Amino acid sequence: MAGIVVLLPKEYSYIILTIITYCFVNLYMLLQVNKARKKYHVSYPALYATEADTKDYKLFNCIQRGHQNSLESLPIFFVLMVLGGFKHPVICSCLGLVYTVTRFFYFKGYSSGDPKGRLPIGYVNSTDKPMGFNGIALLGLVIVNITFGISLLITA
């Protein structure tokens, strides 16, 4: 264990704490989906509800989709955090916190039942395609990882 600690930058603990923070946000989303399953009587293994299941099937599906969308990008986020954090732990942690907060609000907006509510804390509009702050944070993490990869090639 001491060997691992020597290799990691002191600030790497920020990476670990940021990832744990995201895990709590994900747990919150999971609990909201489970609560909605009970409320709208959507039983497993159905991933989404139909009109035959409940009259509120669109609302349930928005809650489920908000969580599912976050799960789809979770592996990318975690890998970028873990790898980029080796070289730039503070930058990655800051970007990770932005990503985590925007994911929370993305879910809250989506689970309102209106898919257009997914980006309630704002977005950057580039021509006709908006990029949410979660996308900007992920892009920042990608850039940090690219610079880390290049620095490894240069020093090798």
CATH code of 50's domain: 1.20.120.550
Tokens found for residue 47: 């991933």
Question: 103 in a domain, yes or no?
Answer: yes
Task: Summarize pLDDT for 111-121 with one digit per residue, the tens.
Answer: 988 877 776 56
* C-alpha distances in Å from residue 42, one per residue of 29, 38, 130: 16, 7, 33
Question: 121 in a domain, yes or no?
Answer: yes
Question: 58 in a domain, yes or no?
Answer: yes
**Domains held by the chain: number:** 1
Question: 27 in a domain, yes or no?
Answer: yes
What is the span of the domain harbouring residue 60? 9-155
Question: 139 in a domain, yes or no?
Answer: yes
Task: Specify the residue for token string 């989709």.
Answer: 65
Tokens found for residue 124: 């950057």
Are the C-beta atoms of residues 60 and 40 closer than 8 Å to each other?
A: yes
CB atoms < 10 A from the CB of 106, how many? 23
Task: Summarize pLDDT for 69-120 with one digit per residue, the tens.
Answer: 999 999 999 999 999 999 999 999 999 999 999 999 889 988 988 877 776 5
What contacts 66, CB < 8 A, 6 or more positions away? 29, 106, 107, 109, 110, 111, 118
Question: 2 in a domain, yes or no?
Answer: no
Strand partners, 125: 130
pLDDT of residue 126: 47
Question: 4 in a domain, yes or no?
Answer: no
Strand partners, 130: 125
Question: 111 in a domain, yes or no?
Answer: yes
User: Could you give the residue ranges of the DSSP H alpha helices within the chain?
Assistant: 2-7, 12-40, 57-87, 89-110, 133-155
**Assign residue 8 a region: left if phi > 0, alpha if psi is -120 to 50, beta otherwise?**
beta
The answer to which of 26-35, 120-129, 132-141 has the lowest mean pLDDT is 120-129
